[in-house]
Amino acid sequence: MLNFFLPNEHVKSIFHITPQMLKDKGVKGIITDLDNTLVEWDRPEATPELIEWFKVMQESGIKVTIVSNNVEKRVRLFSDPIGIPFVYEAKKPMRRAFRRAIKDMSLQNDEVVVIGDQLLTDVLGGNRLGLYTILVVPVAQTDGFVTKFNRRMERRILGWMKRKGMINWED
C-alpha cells in the first residue's frame, strides 16, 4: 500500500529534469503540478527561467500539461500567457484529471511522467495509474492550509520509507 506513495525519482527542482533524461525513459509528455512545483503557490506568473524550460521541452517534442487542484482563475491566469494546456480543480489524487491530460496529449500511460511536490496528490495520483512519478522539492517553504496538513502526513510517510530503506535521498 505505501508503495503508492513512493516516487520513481526525486529531484531538487523542475530544472533538474531535462528533455534527454525524459527521452531516455521513452517519455513524450509531462503532467506537472503548478503550485510549489513550478512556482511558489502565491506567484501569479511563470518566471523567465520556467518559460525557457517549457520552451526547451516543447522544442524537444515533449508535451506539457499542468494538472492542478487549484481553481480555474488561478491556473488559467498562469497558463494562458505561456500557452500551456491545463486541467484545474483536478481533485488529485483521483485519476480523472490525469486520464484527461493523457488523452488530450494523445499519449499512452507509459509515455507520460507526473512531476509534483506532494506525495498525497501528485505521486499517489500518478502511481495509481502506473505512471512514472518524479517528486520535486517544494519551491516555497510556505503552504496553504490543506497543504500544511498534507506535508505533516508526508513527513511521516517519508520517515517510515527512509527507515525501511525504500528511499535514499535527503530532504
Q: Domains of the chain, with CATH numbers?
A: 2-163 (3.40.50.1000)
Across 53-57, 119-123, 149-153, 157-161, which has the greatest mean pLDDT? 53-57
CA contacts within 13 A on the Cβ side of 157: 18
pLDDT of the residue at 154: 79
User: Global pTM?
Assistant: 0.88
Cell of 56: 526547451
Q: Give the whole-angstrom CA distance, residue 36 versus residue 60.
A: 25
Tens of pLDDT, residue by residue over 65-108, are 999 999 999 999 999 999 999 999 999 999 999 999 999 999 99
